[in-house]
Amino acid sequence: MKNKMWKAMGLLGILASLSGTPQIEVKAAEIAVETSTTLYAKMDMPVSVREAADKSGTALSQAGEGQTYEVVESPRDGWIKIKTPEGEGYIQSSAATLIEKTQEKVDKSVMQRQKIVDYALQFVGGRYVYGGVNPKTGVDCSGFTSYVLRNAAGVSLSHSSRSQAGEGRSVSYEDARAGDLVFYGKNGSINHVALYMGDGRVVHASTEKTGIIVTNVMYRKPVKFVRVLN
């Protein structure tokens, strides 16, 4: 058995920004894919499945020609350990052909988080309006995060950055993932929230002058990272 993790980088696209402002290139979050390879033994002839790797060992069952069994131990000294409905046992290597089957499994939570980021990015360039709750017509920072998470993930949040800071569990910057919330403040009081994109970036309804933009997460010093997703 072999397990390995690989990461595929993709391009979300190039976001159109406000007139006179250079375009912003935003890369997708890393998509984690687990690749597992399983070894099988396909029987070339009928053979006894034995309790031990020994011709004189007790026969547990019979493996018929053409049947396929999962290999649980690598071939050694002319024997293969396989898994059968009657239990695990050994067959002679010469009686079977080994076949590798590879499967890929995408981390669905990563895909969900990227979907949230993609959804949020479509509003870049939109207006900041204090008290606004819809990025299509104008929205403030907490209105933006609550709108995105409600529509992209079905998560309900208060329309207040201070309240949102208490509606999930705190995580460290090192553990922050795309879709988490980043909070900023002054003199111990939280006054702004952004959506973390991963790769050290956030998307947020910033100010009336800039509107909804993408910036470095450290454009101000974050005071808290919160996870509201599973």
The three-point CA angle 222-163-201 to 5° equals 30
Catalytic residue among 47, 63, 141, 190: 141
Catalytic residue among 81, 113, 192, 201: 192
- 42: closest CA among 80, 15, 5, 4? 80
Residue 141 designated active-site:
yes
Note whether 99 and 40 are within 8 A (CB): yes
Pull the structure tokens for residue 143: 């209105």
| Parallel, antiparallel or unpaired: strands 169-171 and 222-227 | antiparallel
Phi (first) and psi of residue 95, to 5 degrees:
-90, -5
Note whether 178 and 114 are within 8 A (CB): yes
Rounded distance between C-alpha atoms, residue 22 and residue 32, angstroms: 31
Catalytic residue among 204, 224, 225, 226: 204
Rounded distance between C-alpha atoms, residue 149 and residue 24, angstroms: 23
- 49: closest CA among 36, 58, 38, 39? 58
Note whether 152 and 120 are within 8 A (CB): yes
Pull the structure tokens for residue 18: 């406000």
Provide the b/e sequence for 70-95 (b: ≥16 CB within 10 Å).
ebeeebeeebbbbbbeeeebbbbeeb
* Catalytic residue numbers, as ranges: 141, 192, 204
